[in-house]
């Protein structure tokens, strides 16, 4: 819809191979068919201090730039109380796929900084989603 608005003043919605459902201005179409809200949320990148603080809170003794066994990272995160969904997403086709790729190329080890950054960022995103779920009857996550 955003791209169509940028390129034209009128647009149409076509269904079932050529039948026009609606034709008009973008505002007319939004008023007639638009429901709900679309929200883009960006999570602030963690600062070095954020990463060091979370690393210490989780109980890692290594330096933030050190490499650590990925399975050990998962175990420590689990003990720390990181949401199990985030830990399970550290897989080839999950949200933590980058960590898996790094582990495959580095003898099952990842930079501690990358792991802690993953936990920090996705935990913050999960908090936003939980807040939205508590306030609205239905939400849909696009990516």
Q: What is the pLDDT of residue 23?
A: 81
Of residues 131, 132, 123, 127, the one with CA closest to residue 82: 123
Q: Where are the domains of the chain?
A: 2-33, 48-135
- Residue 35's contacts (CB-CB under 8 Å, 6 or more residues apart) are none
> By the 8 A CB rule, do 47 and 54 touch?
no
Residue-averaged pLDDT of the chain? 88
Give dist(CA 30, CA 27) in Å, integer.
5
Instruction: Look at the alpha carbons of 82, 85, 86, 92 in this order and tell me if their dihedral is positive or negative.
Output: positive
> By the 8 A CB rule, do 110 and 99 touch?
yes
> Could you read off the pLDDT of 19-46 as tens digits, one per residue?
777 788 888 887 877 777 778 888 889 9
- pLDDT higher than 70, residue 74: yes
Q: What is the pLDDT of residue 1?
A: 67
85-113: average pLDDT: 92
CA 42: distance to chain centroid?
9
Of residues 63, 108, 65, 64, the one with CA closest to residue 90: 108
Q: What is the pLDDT of residue 6?
A: 80
């Amino acid at each position: 819809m955003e791209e169509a608005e940028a390129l034209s003043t009128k647009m149409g919605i076509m269904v079932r191979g050529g039948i026009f459902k609606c034709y008009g201005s973008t505002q007319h179409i939004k008023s007639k068919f638009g429901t709900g809200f679309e929200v883009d949320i960006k999570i602030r990148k963690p600062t070095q201090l954020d990463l060091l603080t979370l690393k210490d809170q989780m109980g890692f003794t290594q330096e933030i730039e050190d490499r650590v066994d990925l399975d050990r990272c998962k175990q420590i995160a689990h003990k720390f109380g990181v949401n199990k969904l985030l830990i399970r997403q550290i897989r080839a086709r999950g949200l933590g796929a980058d960590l898996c790729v790094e582990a495959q190329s580095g003898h099952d080890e990842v930079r501690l900084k990358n792991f802690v950054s993953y936990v920090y960022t996705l935990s913050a995103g999960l908090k936003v989603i939980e807040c939205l779920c508590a306030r609205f009857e239905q939400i849909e996550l696009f990516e």
